[in-house]
C-alpha cells in the first residue's frame, strides 16, 4: 500500500522535480480508456497475476526514466538583476553617479549610488518572487507503492514505477502514476486536484467509447495525485513522470509566459519618457553651457543636476509600499495578495471568469424541493420564511406521512454522517448528495443518528452505475410508530429503502405512495413523476428518488430478489445554492463596468439556472467544453464577448478562454482551485486561487488567494485595487509635477551666472522628503467617491494627466520668481529660499490631493507632512546640517514667504478639484 497519508494529497504531488531529469518517449497516442483490460495488458507485455519481473522493471526504468516531474530552469537571479539594473531611469542615475565621480563630487556619487541600489534591489525582489510559480510541485513526500513483481506483492519507492507495473490500491492511497484499472471493488477516487470537482468519482474497469472524453469521464482510469476515498482496486501503470496528466500540467505551467502587468507597462512608458527627457534636457543644457563659455566641470555638473532632478528616485519604493499597504487592506477583507503588482492590476480588470462551485455557490449540495405524490415542499422557501422546517411535522396525514416517509428513507438509505454545529447549520461527512438528504431529514426533525438506532441496518446493496440505485434493509423491531404512520406493517420484520435515479427506481417499482396509501403505479402516475423529474432537471437540480418495500425476511439472493415491487414515495431536487452575498457583488461588478463570466464543469442547465438567479447572463446561452474544443482560436475569439456561461468545461479549456478574452483586449481575472487550473491562472492577468478548496499548485501559480473562496471577495478586492491605482496615479502626478518644477529651477542657473540654483545633495533631499515621505502618505489615501461607479481604466491610459505639466510649470515659476526676487539684490539666501519654497509647495501639494474634502482624513499623510516640516526646519537651523546641505538659516519673515507659496499651490489645486 501507499504509505503517504491522505493529508498529503494537496500538499505534495510527487517526488522531487529535478532540473537534470531525462524523459524518454512513451506510447503517448494510445487511448488506454478505450482498450479492454486484456488488450491493455498485452500492449505493455505484463500480467495482472504476476506483474513485471525485476529484470524487466529495471530495463524499463532505464528506458523510461525515474517517475518524477522535471523542472525547467527559469531565469537566473543575475539575469533578473541585470534587467532591472539596465532600465532607462536606472541607467540615468548610474551615468550621473559616474559623471559626478569623474568630477570629484564623491559625496554626490555615493548618494546617487545608494539611490540606484535601492531602486534595483526592490524591483529585483518583486520579480524574483514571481519566478517561483512551480514551487508547490517541488514539495516532497516519500511514497512507497505495493506492486506485483515476479508474482509477489512488494513495496517499492513510487519513483521506481514503470509502465506495465501492477499496483494495488486501497482507501486512503495517493495515486502514484497514471493507471488503467484492472479490478474495481466499490472504488471511488477524488479527482478534485485535476478537475476541481470535490465529489469522488465511481470507477469501473469496462472499456469506454466516445470522442474527446474529459478526464472526469474516463472512469476506468486513475491519475497521479488523486486520492482513493473508498474501496479497493488493481491497476496497471500506463504513464510515469512528465508523461502523466500531472506532468503535462507541470510542463505547461513552465511554458506559460506571463504578460507584463498594466502597472509595469505604464511605468515602463513613464520611465522611457522621463529618461528621454532627462537625456534631452541635460544634453541641451550642457551644449548651452559650453556655448556660454562655461568650463567643462560646471557644464557636466549642471547636466547631472538636471538628470537627478528629473528621475523620480523614490518611485519604486513608494509604489512598493503603496501596493503593500493595499495588499494588507485586501487581506483584512479575505483576499491574500501573493504578487504585489496584482494589487494594482485588479483595478484594471474588465472580465472576471469565476468558477461556479464554491465561489458563486455555497459548495454545499442542498435539498431545495421535496415532491411526493400528494404534496410538494419547497424547502428553500420554508427556510426563508421561518428559519426551520421542523414545523412540517405538523402538516398532518396524509401529506405528513408522505413527507416523513421520504425524509426517513433518504436518511436511512445513506452512508453520510451529520453533525449539528448550531443555529440551524449542519456539517456532513461523506458523499455531498447523501449529505444533502440527511440534512433535509434533520431539518424536518428526523436525525440520522436517532433513525439508525430506531431502524438498525440489517443488509445493503451498494450503489452501482448500471442499476443507478442503492438499497438498505432495516429492522422494524425498535421503531417509533409515529415515524411510519400510515404504513400497514403488521408482522413484517424489515423495511427496505432504495434511493437513486428516477428511471432506475421506476424500473423496479410497482406502486406509488399516494394520499397515505400504496396505489398501483399506472401510466398517469409514471408520467407525472417523469414530468416532475424533467422540470427539476431543467431548473438545474440533481434529482434523486426514494422508494420502499416491507419484508418478512431478507431475500437469500439479495442482488436479484431485493429490488422488486418497490413503492415509489417521492423525489428530492437538490442544488448547490448561490452564496447570499454574491448577487449584490454581481450588481456592483456590472455597475463598475466589469463583466462576470461563469465557468463550470457542471451541466449547462444547472449553470444557466444559477446564472439566472445571480443576474449574470440575460440570454441564457451556455457554451460547452466540447464546443470550445471544436472551435478554432479565431472562432472562439469571435464569440467570446457574447457568452457569459461556459459549462462542461475542463480546466484545460480555461487557458483558451483566457487567451481569447485577452486577444479581444480584456484584462482578465480567472479563478481556479485544481492543479489543472494552474496554467490558466498563470496566463491570466490576475490568477485567483481558492484558499479553502484550492490545491497548493494553483495557489503558487495565482496572484491572489481568496481565503473564503467567495466571489464577493474578488469584488471587494477590486474596489481596494482601484483605490491603489488611483493612489499610484496620484503619487506619480505629484512626483512628476514636482520634478518639472525642479527642472525649471535648474534652468534658472543659465540666467544666474555660474552659480547653481540647487545642488545634487539638495535635490536628493527634496526627493526623499517629498517623493519619499509624502509619497508614503499619498499611497494610503482612501477611495474616491464613486470608485466602483465607472469603467476600469484602460491599460493604455497615460499614468499622469495633462494638468501635471501646468502644475509643474506653476511650481517652477513660483520658485524661480522667488529665487530671482532674492537673487537680483544679491541676497545670499536666494538658494535657500528656492530650496525651502520647493519643500513647502510639495507639502501643500500633497495635502491638496486628499480624496475627500477633509484634509485631515488621512492621518499618515498629515503626520508625514508635519514630519517633513520638522525635518526641513532641522536642516535649516542645525548648523552642521545646514552646512552639509549648503544652505543658510532663514529669518521668520523669509520663512513665511516660502510657506505662502505652498498655500498658493494648495488653493490652486483645491480650486481645480472643485471645478
Question: What is the pLDDT at residue 43?
Answer: 92
Radius of gyration of the chain (CA): 36
Q: How far apart are CA 189 and CA 753, in angstroms?
A: 84
Of 901, 604, 858, give the one whose Cα is nearest residue 741: 901
Pairing mode, if any, of strands 375-378 and 566-575?
unpaired
Cell numbers that stand for 376 in this block: 410538494
Torsion of CA 53, 54, 57, 58, to 10 degrees: -150
Give 790's Cβ-side CA count (13 Å radius). 13
Tally of CB atoms within 10 A around 785? 9
Buried (b) or exposed (e) across 301-339, using 16+ Cβ within 10 A? bbbbbbbbbbbbbbbbbbbbbbbebbbebbeeebbbbbb
Strand partners for 420: 426
Residue 84 corresponds to which cell in the numbers above? 532591472
- Say if strands 622-624 and 645-647 run parallel, antiparallel, or are unpaired: parallel
Residue 141, number of CB atoms within 10 A of its CB: 17
3-state SS, residue 465: coil
What is the rounded distance in angstroms from the CA atom of residue 419 to the CA atom of residue 860? 48
CA distance 702 to 745: 46
DSSP string of 829-842, one letter each residue: THHHHHHHHHHHHH
Q: Provide the 3-class DSSP secondary structure of residue 201.
A: strand
Task: Report d(CA 227, CA 235) in Å as an integer.
Answer: 14
Asked if residues 652 and 235 have their Cβ atoms less than 8 Å apart, the reply is: no
Count of Cβ atoms closer than 10 Å to residue 900 Cβ: 13
Task: Give all strands (DSSP E) within 379-465, no chain letters.
Answer: 417-422, 425-429, 457-464
Look up residue 22 and give its DSSP letter: -
Low-confidence residues in the chain, pLDDT < 50? 1-27, 130-142, 386-396
The strand pair at 517-520 and 509-514 is best described as antiparallel
C-alpha cell at 495: 423495511
Residue 387: what pLDDT?
A: 46
Whether 616 and 587 have beta carbons less than 8 Å apart is answered as no
DSSP-derived secondary structure letter, 583? H
Asked if residues 883 and 806 have their Cβ atoms less than 8 Å apart, the reply is: no
Pairing verdict, β 375-378 and 645-647: unpaired
Give me the pLDDT at residue 383, please.
52
Q: What is the DSSP string of 467-478?
A: TTEEEEEEE-TT
Do the bridges between strand 457-464 and strand 469-475 make them parallel or antiparallel, or are there none, so unpaired? antiparallel
Determine the length of the chain. Answer: 915
Q: Give the up-direction half-sphere exposure of residue 505: CA atoms within 13 A in the CB hemisphere.
A: 28
Long-range contacts of 618-622, Cβ-Cβ distance < 8 Å, separation of 24 or more = 619/644, 620/645, 621/645, 622/646, 622/647
Report d(CA 415, CA 424) in Å as an integer: 21
Q: What is the pLDDT of residue 744?
A: 84
Contact in structure between 600 and 579 (CB atoms under 8 Å): no
Phi-psi category of 231—alpha, beta or left, where left has phi over 0 and alpha has psi -120 to 50? left
Minimal CA–CA distance to 4: which of 170, 225, 173? 173
Scan for cell 497514471, then name that residue: 178
Rounded Cα–Cα distance for residues 34 and 520 (Å): 43
Q: How far apart are CA 215 and CA 375, in angstroms?
A: 40
Cell output for 720: 481596494
Helix, strand and coil in the chain, % to nearest 5:
50, 15, 30
DSSP 766-804: HIIIIIIIIHHHHTT--PPTTTTSSPPPPTTS-SS-THH
In whole angstroms, give the CA distance from residue 266 to residue 732. Answer: 11
| Separation of CA 296 from chain center | 57
Decide: helix, strand or coil at residue 902.
helix
Say if CB 440 and CB 404 are below 8 A apart.
no
Nearest to 844 by CA among 890, 908, 749: 908
Inter-residue contact 531 to 520 (CB < 8 Å): no
Report whether 389 contacts 382 (CB < 8 A).
yes
Residue 357: the pLDDT is 82
**CA–CA separation, 907 and 904 (whole Å):** 5
Helix (H) or strand (E) holding 561: helix 558-561
Q: Which pLDDT belongs to residue 764?
A: 79
DSSP 361: B
Instruction: Specify the residue for cell string 453533525.
Output: 419
φ/ψ of 690, rounded to 5, equals: -90, 130
Cell of 856: 485631515
What residues are paired with 473 via a beta bridge?
459, 496
The answer to whether the beta carbons of residues 432 and 575 sit under 8 Å apart is: no
> Active-site residue among 344, 355, 696, 709?
355
Q: Which three cell numbers stand for residue 529?
A: 413523476
Residue 651: partners with Cβ closer than 8 Å, 6 or more residues away: 194, 195, 196, 672, 674, 676, 677, 680
Model pLDDT, residue 175: 92
What is the distance between the alpha carbons of residues 156 and 161, in angstroms, rounded to a whole number?
8
Q: CA 886, CA 888: separation in Å to the nearest integer?
A: 7
Residue 423 annotated in active site:
no
Phi–psi pair at 342, nearest 5 degrees: -65, -25
**How many angstroms separate the CA atoms of 203 and 220, rounded?**
6
Q: Quote the Cα angle for 403-405-406, to 5°.
A: 65
The answer to whether 532 and 371 have CB atoms below 8 angstroms apart is yes
Nearest-5° Cα angle at 710, 707 to 711: 130
Amino acid at each position: 500500500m501507499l504509505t503517504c497519508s491522505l493529508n498529503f494529497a494537496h500538499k505534495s504531488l510527487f517526488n522531487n522535480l529535478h532540473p537534470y531529469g531525462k524523459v524518454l518517449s512513451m506510447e503517448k497516442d494510445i487511448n488506454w480508456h478505450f482498450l479492454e483490460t486484456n488488450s491493455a495488458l498485452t500492449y505493455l507485455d505484463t500480467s495482472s497475476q504476476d506483474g513485471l519481473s525485476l529484470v524487466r522493471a529495471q530495463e524499463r526504468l532505464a528506458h523510461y526514466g525515474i517517475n518524477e516531474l522535471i523542472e525547467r530552469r527559469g531565469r537566473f537571479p543575475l539575469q533578473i538583476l541585470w534587467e532591472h539594473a539596465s532600465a532607462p531611469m536606472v541607467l540615468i542615475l548610474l551615468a550621473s553617479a559616474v559623471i559626478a565621480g569623474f568630477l570629484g563630487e564623491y559625496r554626490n556619487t555615493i548618494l546617487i549610488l545608494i539611490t540606484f541600489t535601492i531602486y534595483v534591489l526592490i524591483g529585483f525582489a518583486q520579480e524574483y518572487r514571481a519566478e517561483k510559480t512551480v514551487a508547490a510541485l517541488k514539495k516532497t513526500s516519500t511514497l512507497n507503492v505495493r506492486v506485483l513483481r515476479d508474482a509477489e506483492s512488494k513495496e517499492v519507492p513510487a519513483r521506481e514505477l514503470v509502465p506495465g507495473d501492477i499496483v494495488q490500491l486501497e482507501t486512503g492511497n495517493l495515486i502514484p502514476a497514471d493507471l488503467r484499472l484492472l479490478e474495481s471493488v466499490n472504488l471511488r477516487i477524488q479527482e478534485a486536484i485535476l478537475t476541481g470537482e470535490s465529489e469522488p468519482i465511481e470507477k469501473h474497469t469496462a472499456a469506454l467509447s466516445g470522442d474527446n472524453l474529459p478526464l472526469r469521464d474516463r472512469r476506468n482510469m486513475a491519475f497521479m495525485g488523486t486520492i482513493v476515498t473508498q474501496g479497493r482496486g488493481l491497476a496497471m501503470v500506463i504513464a510515469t513522470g512528465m508523461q502523466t496528466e500531472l506532468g503535462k500540467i507541470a510542463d505547461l505551467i513552465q511554458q506559460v509566459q506571463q504578460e507584463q502587468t498594466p502597472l509595469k507597462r505604464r511605468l515602463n512608458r513613464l520611465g522611457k519618457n522621463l529618461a528621454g527627457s532627462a537625456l534631452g534636457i541635460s544634453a541641451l543644457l550642457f551644449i548651452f553651457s559650453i556655448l556660454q563659455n562655461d568650463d567643462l566641470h560646471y557644464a557636466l555638473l549642471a547636466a547631472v543636476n538636471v538628470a537627478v532632478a528629473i528621475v523620480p528616485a523614490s518611485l519604486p519604493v513608494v509604489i512598493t509600499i503603496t501596493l503593500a499597504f493595499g495588499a494588507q487592506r485586501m487581506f483584512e477583507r479575505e483576499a491574500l495578495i501573493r504578487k504585489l503588482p496584482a494589487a494594482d492590476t485588479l483595478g484594471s480588470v474588465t472580465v472576471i471568469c469565476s468558477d461556479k462551485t464554491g465561489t458563486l455557490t455555497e459548495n454545499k449540495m442542498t435539498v431545495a424541493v421535496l415532491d411526493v405524490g400528494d404534496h410538494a415542499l419547497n424547502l428553500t422557501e420554508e427556510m426563508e420564511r421561518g428559519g426551520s422546517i421542523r414545523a412540517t411535522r405538523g402538516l398532518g396525514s396524509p401529506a405528513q406521512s408522505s413527507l416523513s416517509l421520504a425524509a426517513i428513507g433518504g436518511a436511512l438509505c445513506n452512508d453520510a454522517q451529520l453533525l449539528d454545529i448550531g443555529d440551524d447549520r449542519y456539517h456532513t461527512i461523506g458523499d455531498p448528495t447523501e449529505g444533502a438528504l440527511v440534512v433535509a431529514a434533520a431539518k424536518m426533525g428526523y436525525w440520522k443518528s436517532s433513525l439508525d438506532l430506531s431502524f438498525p441496518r440489517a443488509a445493503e446493496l451498494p450503489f452501482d452505475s448500471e442499476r443507478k440505485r442503492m438499497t438498505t434493509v432495516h429492522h422494524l423491531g425498535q421503531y417509533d410508530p409515529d415515524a411510519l404512520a400510515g404504513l400497514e406493517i403488521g408482522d413484517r420484520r424489515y423495511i427496505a429503502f432504495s434511493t437513486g435515479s428516477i428511471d432506475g427506481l421506476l424500473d423496479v417499482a410497482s406502486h406509488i405512495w399516494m394520499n397515505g396509501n400504496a396505489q398501483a403505479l399506472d401510466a398517469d402516475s409514471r408520467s407525472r413523476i417523469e414530468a416532475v423529474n424533467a422540470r427539476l432537471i431543467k431548473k438545474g437540480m440533481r434529482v434523486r428518488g426514494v422508494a420502499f418495500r416491507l419484508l418478512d425476511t431478507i431475500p437469500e439472493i439479495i442482488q436479484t430478489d431485493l429490488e422488486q415491487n418497490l413503492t415509489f414515495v417521492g423525489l428530492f431536487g437538490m442544488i448547490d445554492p448561490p452564496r447570499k452575498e454574491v448577487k449584490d457583488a454581481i450588481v456592483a461588478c456590472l455597475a463598475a463596468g466589469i463583466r462576470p463570466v461563469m465557468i463550470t464543469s457542471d451541466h449547462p442547465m444547472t449553470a444557466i439556472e444559477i446564472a439566472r438567479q445571480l443576474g449574470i447572463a440575460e440570454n441564457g446561452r451556455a457554451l460547452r467544453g466540447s464546443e470550445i474544443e471544436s472551435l478554432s482560436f479565431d472562432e472562439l475569439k469571435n464569440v467570446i464577448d457574447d457568452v457569459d456561461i461556459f459549462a462542461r468545461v475542463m480546466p484545460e479549456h480555461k487557458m483558451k478562454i483566457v487567451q481569447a478574452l485577452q486577444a479581444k483586449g480584456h484584462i482578465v481575472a480567472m479563478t481556479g482551485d485544481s492543479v489543472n487550473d494552474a496554467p490558466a491562472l498563470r496566463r491570466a492577468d490576475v490568477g485567483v486561487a481558492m484558499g479553502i478548496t484550492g490545491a497548493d499548485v494553483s495557489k503558487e501559480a495565482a496572484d491572489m488567494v481568496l481565503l473564503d473562496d467567495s466571489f464577493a471577495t474578488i469584488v471587494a478586492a477590486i474596489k481596494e485595487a482601484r483605490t491603489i491605482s488611483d493612489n499610484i496615479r496620484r503619487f506619480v502626478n505629484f512626483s512628476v509635477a514636482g520634478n518639472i518644477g525642479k527642472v525649471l529651477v535648474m534652468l534658472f542657473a543659465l540666467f544666474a551666472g555660474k552659480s547653481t540654483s540647487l545642488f545634487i545633495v539638495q535635490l536628493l533631499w527634496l526627493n526623499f522628503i517629498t517623493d519619499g515621505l509624502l509619497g508614503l502618505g499619498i499611497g494610503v489615501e482612501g477611495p474616491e467617491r464613486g470608485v466602483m461607479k465607472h469603467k476600469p481604466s484602460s491599460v493604455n491610459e497615460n499614468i499622469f494627466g495633462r494638468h501635471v505639466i501646468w502644475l509643474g510649470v506653476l511650481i517652477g515659476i513660483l520658485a524661480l520668481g522667488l529665487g530671482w526676487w532674492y537673487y537680483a539684490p544679491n541676497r545670499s539666501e536666494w538658494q535657500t529660499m528656492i530650496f525651502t519654497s520647493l519643500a513647502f509647495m510639495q507639502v501643500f501639494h500633497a495635502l491638496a490631493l486628499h480624496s475627500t474634502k477633509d484634509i485631515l482624513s488621512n492621518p499618515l499623510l498629515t503626520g508625514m507632512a508635519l514630519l517633513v516640516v520638522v525635518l526641513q526646519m532641522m536642516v535649516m537651523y542645525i548648523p552642521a546640517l545646514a552646512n552639509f546641505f549648503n544652505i543658510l538659516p532663514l529669518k521668520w519673515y523669509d520663512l513665511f514667504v516660502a510657506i505662502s507659496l505652498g498655500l498658493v499651490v494648495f488653493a490652486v489645486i483645491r480650486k481645480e478639484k472643485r471645478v
